[in-house]
Structures are given as structure tokens and as C-alpha cells.
């Protein structure tokens, strides 16, 4: 059981690090998109990506 918990925790940490790195990279390369995404989230439109409020290719 200890090995399973260790492997799960390690996988979670690796996933978090990967997601953080991706987001930081997108802030540099797709700044306008990221700003629009955060604004949509703060405005309460959590499904902004699905409903087209954010322009992916802008």
C-alpha cells in the first residue's frame, strides 16, 4: 500500500509541474488568449472555453 501511495503522489506532483510549466509557457506565447480566459473565469463564465467566449486562435 505504501508503494501505491508513493507512486500516486509522485504522479500527481509530476502532473502538477507539467501543467504549471505549460501554463507559464502559454502566458508567454498566447498572452491575449490567457488574459481573455482569466477575465472570462473571473466574470463567472467557467465554461468559457466550451461556449466560445474565448478566441483560441486570436
| pLDDT attached to residue 48 | 52
Domain boundaries, the chain: 2-51
| pLDDT attached to residue 18 | 95
| pLDDT attached to residue 19 | 94
| pLDDT attached to residue 40 | 85
| pLDDT attached to residue 50 | 53
| pLDDT attached to residue 55 | 55
Q: Whole-prediction pTM value?
A: 0.59
- For the chain, 58 residues long, the average pLDDT of each consecutive 10-residue run is 93 96 92 87 67 52
Cell numbers at residue 3, please? 508503494
Amino acid at each position: 500500500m505504501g508503494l501505491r501511495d508513493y507512486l500516486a503522489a509522485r504522479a500527481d506532483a509530476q502532473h502538477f509541474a507539467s501543467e504549471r510549466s505549460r501554463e507559464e509557457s502559454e502566458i508567454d506565447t498566447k498572452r491575449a488568449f490567457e488574459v481573455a480566459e482569466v477575465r472570462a473565469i473571473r466574470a463567472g463564465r467557467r465554461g468559457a472555453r466550451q461556449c466560445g467566449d474565448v478566441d483560441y486562435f486570436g
